[in-house]
Structures are given as structure tokens and as C-alpha cells.
Structure 1
Amino acid sequence: MQISLENPDQPDVIQLIDDLDAYQKPLYPPESHYGIDIAALSAPNVLFAVARDAQGTALGCGAIVVAPEYGELKRMFVRPQNRGQGIAAKVLAFLESEAAARGCTAFMLETGISQPEALAFYARAGYARRGRFGDYPDDPFSVFMQKAP
């Protein structure tokens, strides 16, 4: 498996994002969706990583939006048929390393209450629950987490 920073505006990556949306959208009301689109993922301050197998098939992705105060994890997803292989942990570690190399020392994220697997994954990766941050509203469907240096 190879993980690298890539442009998110690729057909197979767009499909990953569409699959993520198809999974998440039924879980929450529309006003509780905070995913960012392909244009936002292409911004200069966003590190977007893709995990690919030996044949070049996109297996998973994730992004960190690097801000002066912290990096925010966004759009983490691994295809269901590829889960349980440690891909998400490797993508997360890769993104944190790339962001740290650019001076980012704290990482935050928002995920949903209806995703226990994601909550457990982030907790295993050292993220702890915290109060809301940034421009997020006080949303009962949101869980906010942080990993300090």
C-alpha cells in the first residue's frame, strides 16, 4: 500500500468522497453535515492523502486543514471492503506527520454521535473529547475531539 498527498479532483477520489457522503448523509439531518467539498479539499492549506493498493486503486483518504492554531481532520474514509487492515490508522499517521512537518502541533476533529467505529478509532489514536471549536454550532449530533502534542 502507498499513501501520498494527492489532488482530490480525480475520478476515483471523487468516488471515495461520494461513498463517504452516501454513508454519512442518512445518519444525520442535513444541517448537521460538515464535510467539505472537492474545491475546499483542493485549497493550498489542505493536506489530502490517498491510500492506494499495488494496482493503484484508491482504498481510502483523509485530509487535514492546516490553520495557524491547529489542524482539523476532515474526510477520513476507507472503503468498507478494505476496513480492518489498518489503512485508516496509516492514513491518519501520515497526515499528522505531514502536518507536523509544516508546524502543526495540535489536531482537532468533528465527527458524529452515530459513528461509534469512528469514535473508537479516534480514541485509540489518542484523540480525546473536548468542547466545540472553530465555527461549529452547538450541535447535539456532533462529537468534538482533540489530540494535543
Structure 2
Amino acid sequence: MITICRTNSENKDFLNLVFELDKDLAKRNGDTNDFFAQFNKTDLIKNVVVAISDNTPAGCGAMKPYDHYAMEIKRIFVQPDMRGKGIAMAVLQELEAWAKDLGYKKCVLETGKQMTEAIRLYQKTGYQTIPNYGSYENVASSICFEKVL
């Protein structure tokens, strides 16, 4: 059974999961990792979710205001040995529900074009490709999405 809890970026389980995420991204991103790392700071994020499976932190995600209408989804991660169990989808759906509870109308996000598992998740859950936004505007290896809530 998966339990999703709403918390913030001071949560120890979230910090430990993000540490694992950052190691994974460093491998995947290679020389470009420093560029992307600057956008992935976790200090003072008010909207974080942690997925617990069998009393073990299995996955996480976060969001922060992008503008008055949209939340930006960040830091989605599931432990490798826990993948394929619907945890990432549960995390994403909880973040979307929370954004809606807070009055936001849509969610936006960025991921790397090489992150095929993430891209499939976002497409499967109704996200549409949009032009790269903000700091990712001219980044050829990025792909951006949005979903109207």
C-alpha cells in the first residue's frame, strides 16, 4: 500500500530521496548537470509530497508557484527498486490535486528529452508539450509540458 503525505522541503525523507535523485541526474545529464542543478534547489519549498510504501520512503515530488495561475512540478523521483508500481503517478496526481486545492488552474514542468520514463508518465496523465519556458527556453535537451487542472 502506498501512502502519500503532504509536507515541505525540510522533510528528512524528501531530502534523502532528492539526494538519490541528484545522483541519478548527475549520471544522466553528464556535463550539462551543473546547468540544470541551479534550477533544482529544494530550500524553502512549501509544497512537497512523499510516497511511503511498506514504511519505506519510495518516492517524492514538489511544486512551486510559477505564476498566478500555474504551479511548476519539480523533483519527481521514485527509488529504482520501487518503480513500476504506480508511485510516480500517485505522487504527480497528489501534487495536481494540491495545486487545484490552492486555486491554481494548471501545472507546468520541464524534463530532459532523454528522460523517456518521465515523458511517458506526463503524456499518459494528460500533459501536453508546450514551447520551452523561462530558463529552459533555448535549451535543446529540455522538453516542457503543461496540464490544465
TM-score if structure 1 supplies the norm length?
A: 0.88
Contact between 2:111 and 2:142, CA under 8 Å: does it hold in 1?
yes
Contact 2:17 2:79 in 1 (8 A): yes
Which sections of structure 2, spanning at least 5 residues, go unmatched? none
Q: How many residues align?
A: 144
- Residue 97 of structure 2: aligned partner: 97
Structure 1 residues not aligned, in runs of 5+:
none
Cα separation, 1, equivalents of 2:85 and 2:102: 28
> Does structure 2 retain, via aligned residues, the 8 Å contact 1:35–1:74?
no
The 1:111/1:34 distance shift into structure 2, 3 A limit, reads: farther
CA-CA distance at 1:69 after TM superposition: 2.6
Instruction: Measure, in 2, the Cα distance between the counterparts of 1:12 and 1:103.
Output: 27
For 1:38, give the aligned amino acid: T
Q: Hey, what does 2:35 align to over in structure 1?
A: 31
**TM-score normalized with structure 2 length:** 0.88
Structure 1 residue 148: Cα displacement: 1.9
SS for the counterpart of 1:38 is coil
8 Å CA contact retained: 1:127, 1:146: yes
Match of 2:61 in 1: 62
How far off its partner does 1:11 sit? 3.4
Task: Give the conservation status (yes or no) of the 8 Å contact 1:132–1:138.
Answer: yes
Let me know the Cα RMSD of the aligned residues.
Answer: 1.6
Give identity over the alignment, percent.
30
The residue number in structure 2 matching 1:148 is 148
Return the alpha-carbon distance in structure 1 between the equivalents of residues 13 and 57 of structure 2: 6
Residue type of the alignment partner of 2:23: A
1:127 aligned residue: 127
The letter of the residue matching 2:77 is F
Q: In structure 1, what is the equivalent of residue 18 of structure 2?
A: 17
- Normalized per residue, which structure has more strand? 2
Distance 2:38 2:92 in 1: 19
Preserved contact between residue 32 and residue 142 of structure 1 (Cα < 8 Å): no
Aligned position for 1:3: 4
Q: Provide the C-alpha distance between the structure 2 equivalents of 1:84 and 1:98, rounded to a whole number of angstroms.
A: 23
- Measure how far apart 1:109 and its partner are: 0.3
1:62-107 CA-partner distances (Å, limit 9, x unpaired):
0111231311100000001001010111111111001101101111
Question: Aligned partner of 2:120: which letter?
Answer: A
Greater mean alpha carbon deviation, residues 99-108 or residues 66-75: 66-75
